[in-house]
Amino acid sequence: MTERVGVYVCHCGSNIAGTVDVVDVANWAAEKLGRQGVIIAREYKFMCSSLGQELIEKDIKELGLTRVVVAACSPHLHEKTFRTAAKNAGLNPYLVELASIREQVSWVHSDKAVATAKAKAVVSGAVSRVIENAALEEIKVPINPNTLVVGGGIAGIQSALEIANAGFHVYLVEREPSIGGHMAQFDKTFPTLDCSACILTPRMVEAGTHPNITLLTWSEVTNVAGYVGNFHVTIKKKARFINEELCTGCGICQEKCPKKVIDDVYEAGLGYRKAVYTPFAQAVPNFPVMDKENCTYFIKGTCKACEKFCPTGAIDFNQQDEMLHIDVGNIVLATGYDLFDARRVSNYGYGRLPNVFTSLEFERLSNAAGPTSGNIVLRDGKTTPKSVGIIHCVGSRDKNFNNYCSVICCMQGLKFAHLVHERTGATVYNFYIDMRTAYKAYDEFYQRVLEEGTLFVRGKVAEVTNAARNEREKGKLIIQVEDTLAGKQRRIPVDMVILSSGLQPRADAKEVGKMFGISCSMDGWFTEKHPKLDPVATMTEGIYIVGCAQGPKDIPSSVAQGAAASARVLDKILQKEVALEPIKASVNQALCSGCKICNGLCPFNAITFIEDDKVTSINPALCQGCGTCVAACPAGAISGTGFSNEQIIAQIDGLMMRNLEPIVA
């Protein structure tokens, strides 16, 4: 053996040392792996500390190490740290290998003897592998300074504005006719009770008129190819049937359109819109869209009232969907959330009992621009409720529906209590399991609502019924609940029930995640790179997640995330080029039979077939080193640098302790 290998075993405080006998592992490596080339093995409390790194650097210089194995945490965390240390000492960073004895050993085992034996095997595998490693050089590619932001809610708007204000171009794509998102539907925002529209619409206008922002509403991303710095995105711009060049947004078409439909999106099903419409007065852009499904002309072939009255001739029934192809360097996903479908909790009667409302319905009901001009009334459209019950945790914290806490519902419930109290003087009950009012000025708002006289009942509501048992209950909705603090079942008759419905991932979150190459958690939210230290990045470089797409959160947190992702994007843009991992697949064309099996498998479109030579070729700039083609090639003609067959076989041999004395008698 000509290689000189150093092995460094980390205690990670007690994270590893608590379960693995790290001293034993180091001594064993020095003693038993000498034949493999190990000339030094050390253990240290925190290898990632600067002292730990200096230890490695010193050994490389003084002992002339040619390979380094660090037995510590997962390479996701510190691979970069140790590669940099090696580089500083003059060793090619790709000659460093991490053996994960924390995530794969100490955290998943409890028996110290067994864990120690497994740690030795993992170290042995890493030593065998590192000997086969080749010195590699990073590939540098230029970064496209344009950015794509998907989703025009408050998080996406914030993100787009930050980047645009820094002087770079942003494509802001929104699937609805206007940007604004859920925030545009709200009346007031907690805890300050700012008018939602008043604080949102200036941002919308800014985004709509910003010279660096290309606004693409009524549009959806249909395909994403490429990699960080060089994404190629296809966007479907759905036909609006309105010529945007000619339309002035005067609104006559909406006024004249004879077809009224229930507005399931913006009015949450509580109000109506026309077949040609802008969802709300302050919509950005203010061009209407025509809803082909409901338009009388599209259904019956006659009508065209809008066309007749349009003063600028902007109506265009022949407009077609348009496919746009853009190149961007980074992508921010701000796709938001869906409201939990309260009909699923059938004991609360939503959909069956008219005066049970969802939170979003109530937002529209209390909104001055809503279907009742802000009058809080029952579903008959006129009666003001004298008593209102607000139920928390609807669909959240419930194994029958969603396990997680939806974060915003407690504060939302308190906000509703305040609005009902202020506008109707009704008696208000709030039914909660736990009152969660963390964050700045939130608990103060709870105190305020308590002072206003809202009645709080600690108990998850069992059912809402209209089956009265006595005169007092006749004609009312009866909320049946155990008041857990009083220890008694109560039946509380009210006129109106508001369900503080939880948030859930978008129905198409999985497909969207797949399109952008990122994963979803068990609950369906997009997964961040690190839950604490990298909450806006994802495992796919160049793709960021902000707002509720990453998990339930309130407006301040969504805005903060939007801005945070922009800082990350700007950091990338200003570097002008990005260093790509030199982990690439390459074809040994002498072995390639031209079967084309790999051709359709590449998720990055990096594989092309050379017709003249009847062999396959891989574009190293596009290849992401995922290894799919390597595994698929029946001839073994494709090999991945950093994951060569030799490396893998050597690692398996090492793991199996071949050529070694058995470690456990």
Partner 1 sequence: MPQMTDERVRAGMTREEDLSLLNEVSMKTAGVSHLEMCIQCGTCGGSCPVAADMDHTPRMLFAMLRAGMREEVLRSNTPWLCVSCYHCVVRCPQEVHIADVMYTLKGMAIHAKLYTDSTAPHFSQTFVGMVETFGRGYELGLATRHYLRHFPLRLPGMMPMGFGHDLEGAYGDRAEKNQTHGSIDEDPGPRQGIGVDLMNKYLLYPGCSMDSSAKAYMESLNSIVEPLDLHLEEIEDWNCCGATEYLGINLIPAYSLIARNLALASKQMDSGTRTVVAPCSACYLNLAKADYYMQERPTLGAKVNEALAAGGLEYKAGTLDVRHLIDVLVYDVGLDAIRKAVTHPLSGLKVVPYMGCMLPRPDYQHRWSDHEHPTELDDLLRALGADVIDYPLTTSCCGGHMTQIGPETAFELIHRLVSDADERGAQMMVTVCPMCQMNIDAYQNEMNHFFGTNFHMPILFFTQLMGLAFGKAPNEVGIGVELVSSRNALAHIGVEVPVTQEPAAPRKKDEGLPMPRRWTKHEGKKEAVK
- Identify the residue whose tokens are 């490396």: 647
Would residue 218 be called left, alpha or beta, if left means φ above 0 and alpha means ψ between -120 and 50 degrees? left
Assess 465 for contact with partner 1 (CB under 8 A). Answer: yes
Whole-number Å distance between alpha carbons of 561 and 7: 40
Among the listed residues 467, 522, 533, 664, the single contact to partner 1 using CB under 8 A: 467
Beta strands in 36-111 (DSSP E): 38-44, 67-72, 96-100
Q: CB count, 10 Å around CB of 217? A: 23
Assess 270 for contact with partner 1 (CB under 8 A). Answer: yes
Assess 455 for contact with partner 1 (CB under 8 A). Answer: no
Assess 475 for contact with partner 1 (CB under 8 A). Answer: no
Q: Footprint of partner 1 on residues 321-360 (CB under 8 A)?
A: 341, 343-344, 346-347, 350-352, 354, 358
Give me the least distance between CB of 357 and partner 1, in Å please.
9
Give me the least distance between CB of 20 and partner 1, in Å please.
31
Pick the stretch among 13-21, 265-273, 526-534, 562-570 that binds partner 1 (CB under 8 A).
265-273
Q: Which is nearer to partner 1, 24 or 341 (CB)?
A: 341
Give me the least distance between CB of 382 and partner 1, in Å please.
8
> Which residues are paired to 232 by β-bridges?
225, 327
Q: Which is nearer to partner 1, 56 or 497 (CB)?
A: 497
Residue 467 contacts residue 492 (beta carbons within 8 Å)? no
Assess 489 for contact with partner 1 (CB under 8 A). Answer: yes
Residues 412-451: x where in contact with partner 1 by CB under 8 A, - otherwise, as a string? ---------------------x------------------
Q: Which is nearer to partner 1, 74 or 527 (CB)?
A: 527
Give me the least distance between CB of 546 and partner 1, in Å please.
23
Assess 661 for contact with partner 1 (CB under 8 A). Answer: no
Pick the stretch among 250-258, 379-387, 569-577, 607-615 that binds partner 1 (CB under 8 A).
379-387
For residue 278, give the nearest of 345, 208, 328, 329 by alpha carbon.
208
For residue 202, give the nearest of 264, 148, 154 by alpha carbon.
154
- Cβ neighbours of residue 47 under 8 Å, at least 6 residues apart? 8, 9, 10, 53, 55, 56, 70, 72, 78, 82
Residue 546 contacts residue 558 (beta carbons within 8 Å)? yes
- Cβ neighbours of residue 434 under 8 Å, at least 6 residues apart? none
Assess 466 for contact with partner 1 (CB under 8 A). Answer: yes
Per DSSP, the residues of 202-266 read HHHHHHHH-TTEEEE-SEEEEEEEEETTEEEEEEEE---SB-TTT-----HHHHH---EEEESST
Among the listed residues 325, 488, 576, 596, the single contact to partner 1 using CB under 8 A: 488
For partner 1 (CB under 8 A), the number of binding residues is 48
Among the listed residues 484, 575, 619, 659, the single contact to partner 1 using CB under 8 A: 484
Q: Which is nearer to partner 1, 18 or 524 (CB)?
A: 524
Binding residues for partner 1, per CB under 8 A?
262, 269-272, 341, 343-344, 346-347, 350-352, 354, 358, 371-372, 379-381, 393, 397-400, 433, 458-463, 465-469, 480-484, 487-489, 507, 510, 524
